[in-house]
């Protein structure tokens, strides 16, 4: 199954949240909703979304606090969708790190266009490969554009977190990525230096990718340091 981009909607008005979620799901995105700033900040760290759509008028805290919090550890794209139309509100949000600002009401077509643009910019900022690029090593093939992983020609289903780990290691193939670097990239600083959740995910990934996890062909452990993806083959 192809992994979809995950969009986190932080919006307290249920009718607006439902409209945006429906529009996104119709185009193949995975939409997750949060109704408060606190819930949105927590999900941004635990869920590892590809994009945040953020309302500013939240019941517990101002949406600008969400921007500040997320920007303290991540550069994932943030698109503000707010009823606030004054220039000072737009400037403040953009200066704090929002990637785009859309004034409500917003139609489905414009919403989706803004989402596509933000995701493209986010991929470039993260140093992602071009959509047409495919990582290959041995019988493993990872298509970054389609977010699709195959081993020996068979699709491998990965969770959102597992995909982010594999993609990060593949983009840095041949290099040892430290535990802290992987945790920061995938979960942000909220995980501190707890490696347990990373080890659990890596064990699950190996069971899916490796014929014999005890003798890996793709994902190697550098004990006490981190993990390394086998280097990409040169088919030239």
Which CATH number fits the domain that encloses residue 97? 3.40.50.2300
Provide the 8-state DSSP code for 3: P
- Per residue in 159-191, pLDDT (tens digit) is 888 998 999 999 888 888 888 888 887 876 656
pLDDT of residue 161: 87
Say if residue 13 is in the same domain as residue 85. yes
Q: Read off the CATH number of the domain in which 205 is found.
A: 1.10.10.10
Cα(56)–Cα(98) distance, rounded to whole angstroms? 11
19 three-class SS: helix
Q: Which residue has the higher pLDDT, 124 or 230?
A: 230
Q: Are 100 and 114 in contact (CB under 8 A)?
A: yes
**Pick from 68, 98, 125: which residue ends a domain?**
125
Cα–Cα distance for residue pair 95/69, rounded to 1 Å? 14
**Rounded average pLDDT over 137-142:** 93
Q: Are residues 170 and 121 in the same domain?
A: no
pLDDT band at 18 (very low <50, low <70, confident <90, very high): very high
CA distance 129 to 8: 23
Residue 235 lies in a domain: no
Is there a single domain that holds both residue 12 and residue 91? yes
Please say which residue of 125, 147, 181 terminates a domain.
125
**Range(s) of the domain holding residue 220:** 134-229
Taking the C-alpha atoms of residue 41 and residue 164, their distance in angstroms, rounded to an integer, is 19
Percentage of the chain surpassing pLDDT 70? 89
234, part of any domain: no
């Amino acid at each position: 199954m192809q992994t979809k981009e995950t969009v986190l909607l932080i919006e307290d008005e249920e009718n607006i949240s439902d409209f945006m979620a429906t529009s996104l799901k119709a185009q193949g995105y995975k939409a997750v909703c949060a109704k408060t700033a606190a819930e949105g900040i927590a999900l941004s760290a635990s869920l590892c979304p590809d994009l945040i759509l953020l309302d500013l008028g939240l019941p517990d805290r101002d949406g600008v606090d969400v921007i500040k919090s997320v920007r303290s550890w991540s550069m994932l794209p943030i698109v503000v969708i707010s009823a606030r139309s004054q220039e000072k509100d737009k400037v403040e949000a953009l200066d704090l790190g929002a990637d785009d600002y859309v004034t409500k009401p917003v139609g489905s077509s414009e919403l989706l266009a803004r989402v596509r643009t933000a995701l493209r910019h986010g991929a470039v900022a993260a140093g992602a490969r071009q959509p047409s690029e495919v990582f290959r090593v041995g019988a493993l093939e990872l298509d970054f554009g389609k977010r699709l992983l195959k081993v020996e020609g068979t699709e491998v289903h990965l969770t959102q977190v597992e995909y982010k780990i594999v993609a990060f290691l593949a983009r840095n193939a041949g290099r040892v990525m430290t535990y802290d670097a992987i945790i920061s990239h995938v979960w942000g600083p909220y995980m501190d230096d707890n490696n347990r959740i990373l080890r659990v995910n890596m064990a699950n990934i190996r069971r899916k990718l490796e014929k014999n996890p005890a003798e890996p062909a793709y994902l190697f452990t550098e004990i006490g340091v981190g993990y390394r993806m086998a280097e990409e083959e040169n088919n030239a």
